[in-house]
């Protein structure tokens, strides 16, 4: 089925078809590579209402977005977030939206997995960096591994396809990643490993955490047969199949090999700020045009102007001479 909507195309010829929406900057974890332990979150009065978020998403869908991912923070801690999922699901039913997905830490999945499936969510990503309960608590500060594993069980029981996302952290989980991959593949879940990114001030030194995935792949190839494949889920991961496990493994490499040439994504925050690039500070305020008129013309024009400013690429860097993050905002503000 086709729709009479114009695609959003930036100045480099990239069609923008993927919107990631941070429904909250709050999270029930404090992962050491993502947040400071004593985080200051946005005042609730600054957040868009769920109705406003739904209206914004619907305008993007009408302008050519085909895949929408809800993120945070932790999206499932936003009060009444399932009402937003329910409202957005009508675009799945009409065929205007091809996919509605979610990235979560898994802590709330036992509560919401069935409802997500009922509203048309077919797959989700769960962030999980270790299967060691003590190390899990160390990296998340507040998390309980048992709750996340129970959430994954609930998601699979509800028929959701789960993909595991693991941030590769030198000296912390790098030696565990082969076993984490075996575990994921053994349960029918694909896995993606991600390089840590210099976003926001944290308590740790990222130069001590950073592990180039080229090094990780070289180590994996001593144990496994990795075959490159053209498989895509709409995101930036480059995938291989692992002959020994039969599963897929993705690599997201914003530091060692950026994926900007094919970037089809923009990110919307819970305050209505649109970031055209994860690694740049330039942004557009969509809250003002959203609230200035009951019609969507002002909002549509503001989106067009912002897409026209989408940069060719980002400038992430991690080294011992660069102690400050490449961008000041935390990932939880932008949306993972």
Asked if residue 201 is part of any domain, the answer here is: yes
Sign of CA dihedral 330, 332, 335, 336: positive
> For 97-101, 140-144, 231-235, which range has the lowest pLDDT when averaged over its residues?
231-235
Asked if residue 21 is part of any domain, the answer here is: yes
Portion of the chain with pLDDT greater than 70, in percent: 86
Domain count, the chain: 1
Please give the pLDDT value at position 224: 98
Determine the average pLDDT of the residues in 115-122.
Answer: 98
What is the token pair recorded at 313? 């690429």
User: What are the binding residues for S-adenosyl-L-methionine?
Assistant: 33, 73, 127, 197
Asked if residue 185 is part of any domain, the answer here is: yes
Residue 336 has pLDDT above 90, yes or no: no
Residue 183 has pLDDT above 50, yes or no: yes
Portion of the chain with pLDDT greater than 90, in percent: 68
For residue range 38-64, what is the model confidence (pLDDT) as tens digits? 777 888 888 999 999 999 999 999 999
State the chain's mean pLDDT as an integer: 87
User: What are the binding residues?
Assistant: 20, 27, 31, 33-34, 69, 73, 103, 127, 163, 197, 260, 263, 265-267, 277
Residue 118 has pLDDT above 50, yes or no: yes
Q: Computed over its alpha carbons, how large is the radius of gyration of the chain?
A: 19
> For 79-88, 102-111, 147-156, 200-209, which range has the lowest pLDDT when averaged over its residues?
200-209
| Residue 65 confidence class, pLDDT cut points 50, 70, 90 | very high
Asked if residue 72 is part of any domain, the answer here is: yes
By residue range, what is the domain housing residue 258?
A: 8-334
Determine the average pLDDT of the residues in 112-122.
Answer: 98
Determine the average pLDDT of the residues in 117-123.
Answer: 98
Closest-CA residue to 250 (of 297, 191, 208): 191
Asked if residue 195 is part of any domain, the answer here is: yes
Asked if residue 94 is part of any domain, the answer here is: yes
Asked if residue 3 is part of any domain, the answer here is: no
Asked if residue 1 is part of any domain, the answer here is: no
Please give the pLDDT value at position 335: 57
How would you class 281 by CB atoms within 10 Å of its CB: exposed for 0-12, middle for 13-18, buried for 19 or more? exposed
Instruction: Tell me the C-alpha to C-alpha distance, in Å, between residue 253 and each of 50, 89, 109, 258, 283.
Output: 33, 31, 28, 6, 23
pTM of the model: 0.86
Q: Contact, 248 vs 242, CB < 8 A?
A: yes
For residue 131, the domain's CATH number is 3.20.20.70
Partner residues linked to 79 by β-bridges: none
User: What are the binding residues for [4Fe-4S] cluster?
Assistant: 27, 31, 34, 260, 263, 277
For residue range 241-257, what is the model confidence (pLDDT) as tens digits? 999 999 999 999 865 55
Backbone phi, psi, residue 92, to 5°: -70, -45
Q: Contact, 216 vs 174, CB < 8 A?
A: yes
Backbone phi, psi, residue 329, to 5°: -80, 150
User: What are the binding residues for GTP?
Assistant: 20, 69, 103, 163, 265-267
Residue 1 has pLDDT above 90, yes or no: no
Please give the pLDDT value at position 255: 58
| Residue 31 confidence class, pLDDT cut points 50, 70, 90 | confident
Determine the average pLDDT of the residues in 71-92.
Answer: 96
Please give the pLDDT value at position 64: 95
Determine the average pLDDT of the residues in 195-207.
Answer: 57
Residue 332 has pLDDT above 60, yes or no: no
Instruction: Tell me the C-alpha to C-alpha distance, in Å, between residue 97 and each of 61, 179, 321.
Output: 7, 36, 44
């Amino acid at each position: 089925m086709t729709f009479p909507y114009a695609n959003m195309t930036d100045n480099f010829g990239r069609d923008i078809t993927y919107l990631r929406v941070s429904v909250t900057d709050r999270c029930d974890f404090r992962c050491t590579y993502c947040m400071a332990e004593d985080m200051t979150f946005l005042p609730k009065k600054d957040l868009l209402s769920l109705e406003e978020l739904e209206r914004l998403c619907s305008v993007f869908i009408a302008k050519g977005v085909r895949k929408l991912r809800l993120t945070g923070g932790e999206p499932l801690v936003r009060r009444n977030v399932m009402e937003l999922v329910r409202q957005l699901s009508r675009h799945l039913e009409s065929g205007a939206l091809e996919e509605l997905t979610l990235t979560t830490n898994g802590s709330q999945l036992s509560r919401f997995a069935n409802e997500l499936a009922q509203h048309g969510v077919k797959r989700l990503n769960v962030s999980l960096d270790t299967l060691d309960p003590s190390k899990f608590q160390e990296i998340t500060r507040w998390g309980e591994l048992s709750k996340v594993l129970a959430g994954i069980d609930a998601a699979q029981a509800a028929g959701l396809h789960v993909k595991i996302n693991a941030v590769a952290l030198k000296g912390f989980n790098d030696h565990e990643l082969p076993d984490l991959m075996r575990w994921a593949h053994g349960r029918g879940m694909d896995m993606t490993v991600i390089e840590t990114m210099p976003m926001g001030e944290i308590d740790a030194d990222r130069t001590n955490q950073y592990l180039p995935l080229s090094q990780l792949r070289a180590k994996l190839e001593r144990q496994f047969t990795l075959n490159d494949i053209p498989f895509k889920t709409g995101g930036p991961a480059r995938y291989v199949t692992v002959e020994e496990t039969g599963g897929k493994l993705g690599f997201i490499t914003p530091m060692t090999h950026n994926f900007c040439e094919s970037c089809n994504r923009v990110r919307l925050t819970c305050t209505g700020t649109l970031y055209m690039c994860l690694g740049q500070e330039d942004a557009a305020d969509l809250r003002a045009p959203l609230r200035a008129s009951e019609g969507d013309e002002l909002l549509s024009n503001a989106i067009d102007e912002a897409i026209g400013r989408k940069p060719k690429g980002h400038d992430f860097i991690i080294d011992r001479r660069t102690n400050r993050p490449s961008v000041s905002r935390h990932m939880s503000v932008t949306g993972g």
